[in-house]
Amino acid sequence: MLLVLLVCSATTALAQEKTVTGNVTDQLGLPLPGVNIVVSGTNTGTQSDFDGNYAIKASQGQTLVFSYLGQQDVRITVGTSSTINVQMQEDTEALEEVVVIGYGNQEERKIIQNVGIVKQEAIENLQVVSADQLLQGQSAGTQIVNSSGVLGSAAVIRVRGVNSINSGSQPLIVIDGVPITDTAGNTLNRGGNTGINPLSYVNPNDIESLTVLKDAGATSIYGSRGANGVILITTKKGRKNQKTTLTLDVSTQFTQSTDVPDILTADEFREFKAEVATIQNGATVTPEDLGLGAIGSGGTDWLDGVQHTGISQNYNLGIRGGGEKTTFFFGLDFQDTEGFIIGNTQQRQGARINIDTEVTEWLKAGMNLGITNNRLNRVGIENNTFAPFTTAFLQSPVIKAYDEEGNYAQSGSFIPNIFAIVDLDTDELKTFRVIGNAFTELSPFPGLTWRSEFGIDKLHLEEFLRSVDFNSPGGSAQQIFVNEDRWLTNQTLNYSNTFDEDHSLSVLVGLNYEETLRTRSNVSSTGFLTDDLRNLGSGSTPTVLNGDRFPSRLFGLFSRVSYDFKSKYLVEGSLRRDGSSRFGANNRFGYFWSAAAGWVLSEESFVQDLNFFDYLSIRASLGTVGNDRLGTFPSLGLFDAGAIADYNGQSGVIPSQPENPNLKWEESETLDVGFKSSFLDGRITLNATYFKKTTRDLLLNQNLPPQTGFVSISRNVGEMENSGLEFELGTVNIRKPNFEWRTNLNITTIDNQVLKLNEDAATDDDGRRIIDGPVQRAIEGESLNNFYLIRYIGVNPDTGDAEWLDIDGNVTTDPGSGDRVVTGSPLPDFSGGMTNTFKIHDFDLSVLMNYSYGNDVVIDGLRFADGNDAIGGIVNIRRQNLNFWRQTGDNSFLPSPTSSTFNLFNQRSSLQQLDASYLRIKNITLGYNVPEKTLDRIGGIFQGIRFYATATNLFTLKKSEMDGIDPEVTDDIDPLFQGESFFTAPQSKSLTLGARLTF
């Protein structure tokens, strides 16, 4: 009987299906876009549009479920009316989102770790090429200095500054629970920091959120690898009970260089050289006398020739959906990118499958898998004669790139014909990477889950170089294969429960085991009969340069306990024990811990009575983390083999590294204190943090007595401190039904101080220990990075001499290396980012800026691009050099050609040190979402259509002395060389036009 009734009513219901329309608003009555609306028990679903309007087919008696993150679900049974308007209420329980943290999730309101969260809302409309750009300017304490406009090269990412001197300072990157490898040196050095960006292996469109773990409370669960911070990347998952959506995004990008130095044309160069020589000789010297050819006899505009407008295409497909039990996300992307530097192109194909399923009530299983295939045509950068931009700056403009028949001509100097290099030579890097994991999650009883994860990170890399006879006599080829494979398992037991309503407890214990094996073979060959014989084997002299394997293993046990009382008083502690094959036998296992406490003041009645704060909490944490980037076998006594140890054709071994059984990780202790607040109905949020991070046991090379037979040994002896303030301010400036304007601003200050260097370190005149370099000097008691140069004053208008200051501050025309002093710092006083987003009707506009203030850079290449005599005077120079001293009173850039300082002028000094403060409009995106009415009119196949235009690096505010020079400088990833560059190829300026269709 019942059955019959049910069937009947179902039949009736079907018969009475109609379109229900309505409007969804929040508790303030403002339209809520993006609310999920599903017909309960079916796959029918939709989302509210920008104005909060929706339309859905449903039958009388069915239930519509309205759900939106942070709002209480609303369930309404369809009655006779075809209009259902809904006002949703904030869900105080689930007000805050769940945030991904180390080995788990946490409600954002209950987080007492210091984490930087970049949510999907912040990034979904950001059009970027690689994931590091998603972080740029978005999170306080996270500094991302973009590499030059060269495709595929890595940005320098620092979480709370540099925490190491001789070991790596890059943060650990974890993609869906898999800590990925980021070995530098997997590819050939192309000048400067051209390591491959580890973040280029995840499609930015696949990313749901990024979490930057900053304080010890957050990172100590990563133990010996957490000291440089941890970036957790979570890729998109499906959502339950949601209509499957398909998003197709197609865009085209046009790329040019931002700003290049103004250098001389061929005739300017001839006139300059002739005039200088005439003054110096006291008799007329013509350009022909100097072998530069007659005025008007032509030359080459190298700078123009190495750049063009790069045209790139980007196709991206995402399919996302889910039923009652299983949710899924599929992603596909194809990028065909052309940089603005000739010869620099990249093709990337990526695919992703993320599936989660509930097998039973107590068992979940799933898999995340991302595959990337990349082909990059590389070009050199920085201090490298094969770098198009560097060489184009320096190559003499009178040299002709082509002979009279139009063939490439040899340049005749060690600076090659860069056009021929780029055009004829091959430098191709192919990478294939799979990063993924599979998991099961077992809940034997409510509150307890056992999650078992198995992950892999497999990187295969192949680089092929072939230089033709024209560029390398006889031709040369080189081929490198690198395989870097990691497999790991994470086993975690998590117990969460609430007792007596008020006591919440969460306990996590876990285990992490990782094996990594890097293998490399590097073979080169010379002596090719003809350029048509492309392959290595065709060369007459093959040489094996490297053939080696580097295994390492890590085993960690960890636990975290969180407790709160009434969500008001929160405490958390974590402990990790890490064992690593890299550590010495006497220090194989390290313990890392943290303790944190927080107080949600807005839960207290005396704060609630103020009727001001929506949310207010204070927190503090203290703990330790380690840095294990020490190399593969830093602690073992080693013998080297090969050419260095052979004798009379017999192979031998010689001692190469003394045993160092006490060697261990570098350890950072971080104190972190801060508050989070939200007031004026959530229109203003303000968070602030103070931190002090003391790193001990820094690895420094200690000289050994020569009688040991070794030069030095790494000892854990150094100490360094980073302290700073981080502010994040978010404001909703305007919130009206058709107009919204939000601003997010963040500011970070970091002070760095070297507390202790090794006892046998070199000392300066004041007896302070130092690490000295040609441009920088680290001084005990001061910052790790100080530019240490001779002070250049300028050209004396009366004498025409260039003048410097000696060590005592007196003017000199003949300074020496003893006159070096601290002249500047590559570390900014403060830096950060600002995002403004506007929504006006169907348009949205976001403007992302980043800035840095108070930092200097040293552009070493200016020693060549300024003055008259660098490399025998054969190189081109910047236009300001035309302004040389001719007569008394001249305010000139260059001294008099007859001055004794004329050739000293461009020696290394503060002349090459420039103020690199800048404010850059990094990304402007204007979007237009086609309104629903229009979508309906074109047949309703589309759920959404979005047109957008993105401009990057449109405008940079910087000092005039930086004309033609990019302020973001990353020549070297080495902490001791921050802010130094030879010539950074400029950043790219791009315009992207695209459309995103959602079905």
Q: Strand, coil or helix: what is 843?
A: strand
Q: For other proteins, which is the closer residue by CB, 481 or 555?
A: 555
List Cα–Cα distances, 465 to 381, 384, 536, 772, in angstroms.
16, 16, 9, 36
At residue 134, the 3 state secondary structure works out as: helix
Concatenating the DSSP letter of every residue in 379-416 gives ---SS-TT-HHHHHHHS-TTS-SB-TTS-B---SSSS-
Shortest distance, position 643 Cβ to other proteins, whole Å: 3
Residue 440 and residue 365 in contact, taking contact as beta carbons nearer than 8 Å: yes
DSSP for 232-245 reads EEEE----TTEEEE
User: Is the Cβ–Cβ distance between 875 and 396 less than 8 Å?
Assistant: yes
Closer by beta carbon to other proteins, 363 or else 424 = 363
Residue 115: partners with Cβ closer than 8 Å, 6 or more residues away: 99, 101, 211, 212, 213, 214, 218
- Measure the CA–CA gap between 571 and 578, rounded to whole angstroms: 23
Residue 473, judged by CB atoms within 10 A of its CB (0-12, 13-18, 19+), counts as exposed
Length of the chain in residues, anyone?
Answer: 999
The pairing of beta strand 45-47 with beta strand 74-77: unpaired
Closest approach, Cβ 652 to other proteins, in A, equals 3
Least spacing, CB of residue 578 vs other proteins, in Å: 10
Nearer to other proteins, 338 or 514 (CB): 514
Phi, psi of 140 (to 5 degrees): -65, 145
Quote the least distance from Cβ 522 to other proteins, whole Å: 12
Residue 662 CB, nearest approach to other proteins (Å): 8
Strand 476-499 with 503-526, pairing? antiparallel
Cα angle: 117, vertex 119, 122; to 5 degrees: 115
* Measured distance CA(242)–CA(38) in Å, rounded: 7
Name the β-bridge partners of 751.
Answer: 723
For residues 752 and 169, what is the distance between their CA atoms, to the nearest angstrom?
A: 14
CA-to-CA distance for 418 and 523, rounded, in angstroms? 25
User: H-helix or E-strand containing 271?
Assistant: helix 266-281
How far apart are CB 697 and other proteins at their closest, in Å? 17
- What minimum distance in Å lies between the beta carbon of 704 and other proteins? 6
Nearer to other proteins, 324 or 759 (CB): 759
Q: Rounded to whole angstroms, how far apart are CA atoms 221 and 63?
A: 44
- Min dist CB 635 to other proteins, Å, is 9
Q: How far apart are CA 251 and CA 243, in angstroms?
A: 26
Q: Round to whole Å and give the CA distance between 914 and 408.
A: 37
Query: Which C-beta is closer to other proteins: that of 40 or that of 708?
Result: 708
Nearer to other proteins, 312 or 635 (CB): 635
With DSSP H G I counted as helix, E B as strand and the rest as coil, what are the percentages for the chain, rounded to 5?
Answer: 15, 50, 40
Q: In terms of CB distance, is 383 or 702 closer to other proteins?
A: 702
Least distance to other proteins from the beta carbon of 384, Å? Answer: 21
Residue (613 or 633) nearer to other proteins, CB: 633
CB of 846 to other proteins, least distance (A): 47
Tokens, residue 865: 């691009």
In the complex, what is the shortest distance from the CB of residue 437 to other proteins, in angstroms, rounded to a whole number? 16
Phi, psi at residue 246, to the nearest 5°? Answer: -120, 125
Instruction: Write the Ramachandran bin of 507: left for phi over 0, alpha for psi from -120 to 50, otherwise beta.
Output: beta
Residue 490 or 723: which CB sits closer to other proteins? 490
Nearer to other proteins, 104 or 416 (CB): 104
Q: Whole-number minimum distance, CB 451 to other proteins, in Å?
A: 11
At closest approach, how far in Å is the CB of 544 from other proteins? 12
CA distances for 662 relative to 165, 584, 589, 699, angstroms: 19, 5, 11, 12
Q: Pick from 76, 57, 59: which is nearest to 19 by CA?
A: 57
Minimum CB distance to other proteins, residue 110 (Å):
27
Q: Which is nearer to other proteins, 449 or 892 (CB)?
A: 449
Q: Looking at the DSSP assignment, which residues form a beta bridge with residue 988? A: 257
Whichever of 653 and 938 has its CB closer to other proteins, that residue is: 653
Shortest gap between Cβ of 716 and other proteins (angstroms)? 13
Of 40 and 662, nearer to other proteins (C-beta) is 662
Q: Tell the smallest beta-carbon distance from residue 525 to other proteins (Å).
A: 17
Whichever of 72 and 657 has its CB closer to other proteins, that residue is: 657
Which of 638, 821 has the CB closer to other proteins? 638
SS3 561: strand
Question: Could you tell me how far CA 691 lies from the centroid of its own chain?
Answer: 22
- Contact residues: other proteins, CB under 8 A: 442, 444-445, 450, 489, 491, 493, 511, 513, 515, 548-553, 555, 557, 579-581, 588, 632-633, 636-662, 703-711, 713, 760
Taking the least distance from each CB to other proteins, the nearer of 659 and 803 is 659
Q: Smallest distance from the beta carbon of 653 to other proteins, in angstroms? A: 5
Tell me whether residue 705 or residue 767 sits nearer to other proteins (CB atom).
Answer: 705
Distance CA 180, CA 260 (A): 36
Please, where are the H alpha helices in 340-485? 388-394, 418-424
CA distance 392 to 415: 9
When computed from its CA atoms, the radius of gyration of the chain, rounded to whole angstroms, is 31
Question: Which pair of tokens denotes residue 732?
Answer: 């909703």
